[in-house]
Chains A and B, each alone.
Chain A
């Protein structure tokens, strides 16, 4: 494939964010992003790029453009107020040894 064609393809293909569930019972975690022409291709690419070493049992792919994100400029206003409220951490409870994944 010639380079001009290649550049055109990359520009056309939207970016997807990829989330992988590493095993049943755990949550999907963001692992990275990739380009794909459509939803089906996004799943195939995610499978080939991010689960080659048995990293997952389930894949979610979301168009990056569809993700609503917080504005870094607003970080102080959004997150600073939580800093002095340590009582919100449930660290005052004794957790039984049998409880995992907490």
Chain B
């Protein structure tokens, strides 16, 4: 997606193309993460965790619906949330690369979740004061969900990271493998700059310190060690993805692609 030249200013005050890109980034991140969590249904290590992960998945799908519906309206080409979710290809998805990483083992899923939950907490907190009233309302609703998500994932991180030798080693492996994707969370580009300038979202850099401190507080409750800062920022939010997203979309979009317009 081109994010260079700003089209005319939107009602909210941010350039329309930047607002659209920003909404897709948030909405796609929630959608892809929700789909990933949904893959656990029927496979979680405990019945209760099965339900817990499914509940998380539904929260994220709910957020994605609100954000993508809004994105469709901002885009103004008649695409609704379903068209955006089911009829775009991988390069058109703007989710963070971290969200599309495979579930791996339970520790892997928890670490991915915890890193994103910490990011979303700061994000939604900041967005409740957005100059864009619609986005502020979505954030206010999602913030309550995020608080619970963080409680869940940080609780599990401490349990695994301070548990048996096996759980600790798996959690540490997951940290090492996923940490390189955290560079993208706070690496601003021109969309972020325009969005921040319009007061739609706080500058990304202002959330990075709070995220880092929050993550550090939880890590301090464990025996896990924090990996070195990720030098290479991934570019999921610019549509450049790891190979995992295509497979995820293939499964998620299969029905609508095979039977266009099919309804329950």
Binding site for B on A (CB under 8 A): 1, 5-6, 9-10, 13, 34-38, 40-41, 44-45, 47-49, 52
Interface members, chain B 148-176 (any A CB < 8 Å) = 148, 151-152, 155, 159
- Chain B, 30-65, CB within 8 A of any chain A CB: 45-46, 48, 51-52, 55
B interface residues (Cβ-Cβ under 8 A, vs A): 45-46, 48, 51-52, 55, 105-106, 148, 151-152, 155, 159
From known contacts A1-B105, A48-B55, A52-B55, infer whether A36 and B155 are also in contact, taking CB-CB under 8 Å. Answer: no
A48 to B58, CA, bound (A): 12
Extra contacts besides A35-B48, A44-B52 (11): CB < 8 Å: A6-B45, A10-B46, A13-B46, A35-B46, A41-B155, A41-B159, A45-B51, A48-B48, A48-B52, A48-B55, A49-B48
Distance, CA A1 to CA B52, complexed state (A): 17
Bound Cα distance from A17 to B123, whole angstroms:
37
Whole-angstrom distance between the alpha carbons of A36 and B48 in the complex?
8
- Contacts known (A9-B45, A35-B46, A37-B159); A44 close to B151, Cβ less than 8 A: yes
16 A-B pairs in the complex with CB atoms less than 8 angstroms apart: A1-B105, A1-B106, A5-B45, A6-B45, A9-B46, A10-B46, A13-B46, A35-B46, A40-B155, A41-B155, A44-B151, A44-B155, A48-B48, A48-B51, A49-B48, A52-B55
